[in-house]
Structure 1
Amino acid sequence: MKAFKTITIETNDAIAVLKFNRPDQLNAMNREMMDEIIDGIHWINEQSEYHVAVITGAGRAFMAGADIKEYGNQTPEQFDSFQEKGKELYDAIENADKPWIAGVNGFALGGGCEIALACDMIVASESAKMGLPEVFLSLVPGGGGTQRLIQKIGINRVKEMLFLGGQYDANTLKDWGLVNKVVSNENFLTEMMDFAGKLSRRPHKSVAQLKRLANISLTTTPFEERINEEANTVKQLYLDVEAQTAIKKFIKKSEQ
C-alpha cells in the first residue's frame, strides 16, 4: 500500500477504515485528497480479506465538501476533470462488492454528504450534521447528490434539503430513513466499529450479492429481469460450498 498525505487507512480483522486526514481544513477535499481517496478506495476494494469498509473523518468533521479556494479557481478543463474524478470516487464505493459504511462524525456537507450517500449505510454521531448547500453558490450538487438522495428519502424532503441548503442533524435524518444508527459522540468510534464488526461476520459472498441485487432494484432494469436475476443468484449461492455448509450446520443445530 502506498503512503498517503491526506488520508489514512487502518485495518482491524476483516474491516478496513479509510479516514480523511485534513482536520485543520475540516477535511475539505482538494485535488490531491480526491486522488488519494480514489486510490485508497480502489486498494480496499481489491483486498479480499477485508469484508467491510468504513469511511470517516479525522477531527470534528466527516468532510466539509470541496476545498472552495481551489474549487473556485479552476479552468473549465480542470472543472471537468474534477467532476469526472468525483464520479469515479462515488461509483467506486457504490459499485464495490463489499459494503461501505459512512461513519459521519460531525459535518458532512456538499461532496462529503455525497460520499455518505454513495455508501450502503450511515452511522452518525449525535452531533453530526449533513447537507447539500450548493444552492448558496448558485450551483447544484455535482456528485450524484440529487439522484442518490431521492433514492433514500421522499421527494418533498429531498426538495427541502436541496432548495434551502440547510444542515440537518443526525436524529432528524434517522427519522427520515437516511441514517441507520445514531450514537453518542463519546462512544462514536467504538459503536461504529461494533456495527461494522457485526456486518463483517455475515457471509461475505451473500452480502456482496445482496448489495448488488439491492442496487439493481434502483435501476431501470425491468422488474421481471430483476426477479429472474434474484432467482439465478440464489441458485448459484445454494450450490456453493459456503451455503451448503451453513445449511447443514443449521439442520444439525435444530436437531439437537
Structure 2
Amino acid sequence: MSTADTRAPAAPPAPATARGRPADRLDRAARPLAPFPDPGPRTGEQRARTERLLEAGRAQRTAFLDHHAEPLYDRLTADRTRRPRLDALVEDAASAVPGLVPTPAQLRADRAAPPGERLGYETDVGVLLRGLLRCPAAGGHLMDSMLRPTGRALGLLAEFRATGTVRLETTELERRAGVARITMCAGDRLNAEDEQQVDDMETAVDLALLDPGCEIGLIRGGEMTHPRYAGRRVFSAGINLKRLHAGEITLTGFLLRRELGYLRKLLLGLRTDEPSWRYPLTDMPWVAAVDGFAIGGGMQLLLAVDHVLAASDAYLSLPAAQEGIVPGAADFRLPAVTGPRLARQIILGGRRVRATDPEARALVDRVVDPADLDAAVERAVELLRNPAVTANRRMVNLALEPADGFRAYMAEFAVQQALRIHAADVLGKAGRFSARPPG
C-alpha cells in the first residue's frame, strides 16, 4: 500500500487574499493538497482507512476549487486562448497542480483493477470538472469548447465532401439529396453505447454539420446481426453494461463527452473558427426514426432532435435508475417535455412507454406501421426543409435549454454520475449482465 494511505489531508485551503500574482496565489493554495493513494488490494481496515482519506481529500479539493476554479482554468487554457477537450483538460490539471486530480497512469490503473479494488478515481475527475463547470466564466468556455469539431472529423472532412460517405466502426454517414443520413450499425450489440460509439457519433455529427451539402440530418438504427434481432433494424439498447463493468466507460470519454459533445451539437450546432454574425453556430434540423426500441441513451438522443418518428411496435425507456446510474441529461430535459409526473415514472420507476401509448404523444411526433416507416421518414425530412424551420428551432432550443441552467446541471452530474458508476450496486448489476451468455 502507498505511504499516501497513512497521510491525513491537510485542512481545506483558505481563500487566497494575500497580494501577489494570481498564479502565485494558486500555487500557494494548492500546496496542502494530499497525494492520491495508489490502487491495489487492501484488507478491510486498510480499505476503510483509504476511503476515509479519499473522502477528506475530496472535500479539500472541492473547497480549493470553490475559491480557485477560474484562475486554475485560465492557467490550463492559457487565459482561454486554448480549448482543450475534457480528457486533455484533466491531464493538464494533473500536471499543473499535483494532487488535484489523479494522473493518467493512476486513472488507467484504477480502471484496470478488479471492481472490488477500484478507488473510484473517476469521482476525483468529477470533483475537478464540477468545480470548473460551476464557475460561469470557466464553465461557459469549457462547454463552448466542447461544441467545436473534433480533430478526427476535420481529418475526414475532405473525404466526406468528395465521396458523400464515411464508414466508421459503429456508424455510417451518407449524404443523399441534401440529407445527412447517420446509421448506427453496431449490429452485434444492438447499438449499445460505448466510447467507440460516442466517438463515431460525434464524428458523424460534426461531418454532417461541416458539409455545406447537408441541409437536414437523419438518425436511424441499422439492421442487426445479434441473433435475437438478426435482419431487423434497432435504434439503441443504451449503455453497454459489459464495458461499464470492465471499467471501460469513463467520465470524460463517455458520460460527459456525449452530453457536452454530440448530443448538444444536435441541439445547438457546431462552434467553428468562422462564426457568422447571423448566428454563432453551424446547425440544421434533425430527424430520428425509432425501430424496435430506444432504451437509455437511445431515448436521451430523441430529446435532442427536432422530429421523432417511431414504428408502432417500438418502445422507449430510461432504465438508468434500475441500473443504478443517472440517465445523462434526461433528468434535465424530460420534465419539460412530459411534465414532472410522467418524467418521474419513466426515470425513477422505469416505466416503459410504447409508441402506441397515449403518453407517447409527448415523446414521438408520429407513429406509423413498421412497413410504412421508410416512407414516413422521407416525408418528415421534406417537412423540415421549410426555410423557417432552422430559425425557429434555434429559438425553441434556446428557450428550452438556457446555457447557465444546463451548465449547473452538468456540474452536479459530473460528481453524481461518477459516484454511481463505482457504486457496489451498479457494479453488481453490470457484473450479472456481463455474465449472461450471448443471445
For normalisation by structure 2, the TM-score amounts to 0.47
Could you tell me how far apart the structure 2 residues matched to 1:219 and 1:194 are? 28
Could you tell me how far apart the structure 2 residues matched to 1:11 and 1:75 are? 32
1:62 shift after superposition: 0.4
Q: 1:61 to 1:3 in 2, by over 3 A?
A: closer
* Alignment of 1:26 onto 2:190: yes
Could you tell me how far apart the structure 2 residues matched to 1:81 and 1:14 are? 31
Task: Please list the CA deviations of residues 26-84 of structure 1 after superposition, one character each: whole Å capped at 9, or x if unmatched.
Answer: 111121111011000011011222221011101332011011111222279x3343212
Q: Percent identity?
A: 24
Q: Superposition pairs for residues 163-202 of structure 1, below 5 Å? A: 163-172=348-357, 175-200=360-385, 202=386
Assess if the C-alpha contact under 8 Å between 1:123 and 1:182 holds in 2. yes
Which of 186, 211, 221 is equivalent to 2:393?
A: 211
* Alignment of 1:128 onto 2:310: no
Q: Superposition pairs for residues 1-256 of structure 1, below 5 Å? A: 1=160, 2-59=166-223, 60-74=233-247, 78-87=250-259, 88-96=261-269, 97-142=283-328, 144-172=329-357, 175-200=360-385, 202-203=386-387, 206-220=388-402
Assess if the C-alpha contact under 8 Å between 2:287 and 2:380 holds in 1. no
Higher-strand-fraction structure: 1
What SS does the corresponding residue of 2:256 show, helix, strand or coil? helix
Which one-letter code corresponds to 1:115 in the other structure?
A: L
What SS does the corresponding residue of 2:219 show, helix, strand or coil? strand
Count of residues in correspondence between the two structures: 216
Instruction: Give 4+ residue runs of structure 1 displaced > 6 Å after superposition.
Output: none
Assess if the C-alpha contact under 8 Å between 2:287 and 2:307 holds in 1. yes
Could you tell me how far apart the structure 2 residues matched to 1:112 and 1:172 are? 18
Unaligned runs of 5+ in 1: 222-256
Q: 1:173 to 1:6 in 2, by over 3 A?
A: farther
Partner of 2:146: none
Partner of 1:241: none
Task: Please list the CA deviations of residues 216-250 of structure 1 after superposition, one character each: whole Å capped at 9, or x if unmatched.
Answer: 222459xxxxxxxxxxxxxxxxxxxxxxxxxxxxx
Could you tell me how far apart the structure 1 residues matched to 2:317 and 2:242 are? 20
Q: 1:83 to 1:11 in 2, by over 3 A?
A: same
1:8 shift after superposition: 1.1
Assess if the C-alpha contact under 8 Å between 1:173 and 1:179 holds in 2. no
Bigger Cα Rg? 2
Assess if the C-alpha contact under 8 Å between 1:15 and 1:197 holds in 2. no
Using the TM superposition, name which of 167-176 and 57-66 deviates more: 167-176
1:110 shift after superposition: 0.6
Unaligned runs of 5+ in 2: 1-159, 161-165, 224-232, 270-282, 404-439
